[in-house]
Structure 1
């Protein structure tokens, strides 16, 4: 079968390790099944894998991709929950939790094997391309907003770095839930697009906001950390799920954190239950993932190059086959 995989590790030029070619059909352990992929979406996790973060030469070749949607062995339309080992389903109880493409082959392939437990019905209202955006970035945003930020309708939330998959998801989901959403971006076009998606206002990175906010969703890291801390109300929540600009901010801002009793909360992906709730939310609210572009599998290198440049707005999707 045709698949896109990490063939080599290159921390400086990660795309040097990306290959597209024939690989063996997936093996199917007891309790697992196959999915014929129809769409998969790219994540920065895939670039980090090609850089060797969480992946070693001894693991190669390994098919990349965390998110996908397609047809199960019985022909049902399904969405794949990409966390393997949650509650021990389909793997040994002592096996650590992982994501697809870390310990097991990922979704950038014509077919994949996953535990049956990891499959959810795809709502008919969502296309395969839209559904493939949900298990990673959109589930991450859902957990940040509804589980960890502890927001109620009318509360204020700042989303740093409008344009990426998590950020656009947070704008759409937050506004649909009745939150007052502020966003930042260095790009004026992205700021305007974020407002069109439902943000109340958009600002330059680091700009003074009209008021302090109840929560900040932080995926940028070093470049926005100080602004995130200072933008919060006393007792506010700073929810972190990434650090694309770097993980070591120059100022810890500890005096603000302890004196103003701020809460710093790490957030990673989400559970199968949360993914099911996200699917229901999208159907009930008429929410649809923001798709930046769709590439055929043969053009996966161009898709990665677009994501690496950062000039996207929303999710990049692969059409399979």
Structure 2
């Protein structure tokens, strides 16, 4: 059966003298699969630009593009015809990719022993096709119709079903930023080396885990044992598991990072206390903490796409990348 969607859409432009409809619905030349349709599109656009935005008559189009099949009856809406045209183009691109490009990608990945890269290439290709053939309704939301869409989100937030806020470890910061960090925001800490950025972000991540967040740490300049030692020291301090006497004053403290790094305690009882604490960690945190560190053998890809995959796999609510400048940035992403 011959596909007439392209002919119907261009015929409707002619019948209703509405060339602007092509732009309103995101219709471009390459979306038409047949050469005669592309030629008709070119002629209509050229005619419109030289005739005050008007469309040519059907007779003028046929006279200039004899191969084009004009359709007098065009009752379907521009929205429907545009969606159908984009669907057809999407299907053609998918078939072309599967029939002509998929095997080449597979062969390249097979030679490189890179199945993950093969999967990433497929996902990227289909995302690009999906974006270029985006099918959507009217763009944007009218503020005067806020009763239709704004209040729905308002009550979701009121009931805690939408955006969440994660309180900072530092009470003074909570006051400054309005009660905590808002979900979906990106926060950047910056400062000179040695000023405590990693310590602050670690404490903030642990605090979120205490509140029930699934926290993903991308640790890009520290082995996982050293990072975990810092984290365990902070958690043990928060749990008030140990006392420390400094200048005659008794302070609540955690296990020493120095002792954990050396894997050496002053007494057997202290070591056993630490082991018991580690074995019961799953009862301490309401949320979870996933660590991806530089000494993980499978931590090779440090791109934005790899981070996105880890976020999905860990079901992360909060993500901390330390430091972000060690990520592998793809061009224009």
- Please indicate the TM-score interval, normalised by the length of the shorter structure: under 0.3
Query: TM-score, length-normalised on structure 2?
Result: 0.22
TM-score (norm 1): 0.22
Relative to total residues, which structure has the larger strand share, 1 or 2?
A: 1
